[in-house]
């Protein structure tokens, strides 16, 4: 009997969600019980990845990148990254190593796996000294970093903060203003023109947000 291959996008989403849910539960140390399932207070890694995937769909259409490669890399780029891990960061390599196992029985085109792996292996770091190549690798870097700027990034940041430390409005403001300094470097490192322009808009939004927050408190 010939078995039908799994749809690769839902296989990626499930593989990611299984890992991030367990890891978030471990890190938070508690969860909500909903319909027989233990759900973490905030699944930061899944929320971040979903934003990266959505940005990937947008950027692929803007620059004519290969959507299979970019979206698969977007789903899986952080698929083995653990919350709160300290010391040597190997999460890009770990994710690249998990690729074959996740895509094995799916309909993902085999000839696109090495380009997907290349994108994942090169997505780390908050600044670049020179633009990345090829296009899909450059795009993954851009959308991963764009997800750390803008309105949704605030929700991600504020949602995960209490898992690391007690949160207060003042702490969020101080951390946010510190992040702005790094965010400028991220904006200046974008590879593609649409991401550069989107990053500038998002940076401006964040700058104004923290300015307003400081004025309020």
Per CB under 5 A, residues contacting Fe ion are 78, 144
Q: How far is the CB of 74 from Fe ion (least distance, A)?
A: 9
Q: How far is the CB of 191 from Fe ion (least distance, A)?
A: 16
- Using alpha carbons, select from 20, 59, 18, 22 the residue that is nearest to residue 144: 59
Q: How far is the CB of 145 from Fe ion (least distance, A)?
A: 8
In whole angstroms, what separates CA 119 from the centre of its chain? 13
Q: Smaller CB distance to Fe ion: residue 23 or 78?
A: 78
At 122 the three-state DSSP class reads: coil
Radius of gyration of the chain (CA): 18
Q: Smaller CB distance to Fe ion: residue 6 or 154?
A: 154
Q: How far is the CB of 117 from Fe ion (least distance, A)?
A: 14
């508690």: which residue's tokens? 30
- Using alpha carbons, select from 189, 183, 217, 185 the residue that is nearest to residue 203: 183
What is the rounded distance in angstroms from the CA atom of residue 68 to the CA atom of residue 71? 5
Q: Smaller CB distance to Fe ion: residue 78 or 142?
A: 78
Dihedrals φ, ψ of 161, to 5°? -50, -45
- Using alpha carbons, select from 119, 114, 102 the residue that is nearest to residue 12: 102
Q: How far is the CB of 11 from Fe ion (least distance, A)?
A: 19
Q: How far is the CB of 123 from Fe ion (least distance, A)?
A: 6
Q: Smaller CB distance to Fe ion: residue 6 or 157?
A: 157
């790094």: which residue's tokens? 182
What is the rounded distance in angstroms from the CA atom of residue 42 to the CA atom of residue 39? 8
Task: Find out whether 160 and 179 touch, Cβ atoms under 8 Å.
Answer: no
Q: Smaller CB distance to Fe ion: residue 95 or 135?
A: 95
Q: Smaller CB distance to Fe ion: residue 76 or 103?
A: 76
Task: Find out whether 100 and 72 touch, Cβ atoms under 8 Å.
Answer: no
């Amino acid at each position: 009997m010939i078995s039908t291959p799994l749809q690769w996008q839902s296989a990626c989403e499930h593989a990611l969600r299984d890992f991030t849910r367990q890891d978030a539960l471990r890190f938070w140390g508690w969860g909500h019980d909903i319909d027989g399932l233990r759900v973490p207070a905030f699944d930061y890694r899944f929320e971040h990845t979903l934003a990266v995937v959505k940005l990937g769909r947008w950027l692929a259409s803007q620059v004519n990148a290969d959507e299979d490669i970019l979206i698969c890399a977007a789903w899986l780029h952080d698929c083995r990254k653990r919350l709160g891990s300290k010391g040597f960061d190997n999460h890009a390599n770990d994710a690249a190593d998990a690729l074959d196992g996740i895509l094995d029985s799916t309909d993902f085109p085999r000839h696109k796996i090495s380009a997907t792996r290349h994108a994942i292996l090169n997505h780390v770091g908050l600044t670049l000294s020179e633009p990345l190549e090829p296009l899909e690798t450059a795009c993954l870097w851009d959308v991963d970093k764009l997800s750390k700027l803008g309105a949704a990034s605030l929700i991600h940041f504020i949602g995960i903060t209490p898992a690391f430390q007690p949160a207060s409005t003042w702490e969020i403001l101080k951390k946010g203003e510190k992040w702005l300094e790094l965010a400028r470097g991220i904006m200046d490192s974008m590879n593609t023109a649409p991401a550069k322009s989107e990053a500038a808009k998002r940076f401006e939004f964040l700058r104004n947000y923290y300015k307003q927050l400081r004025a309020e408190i």
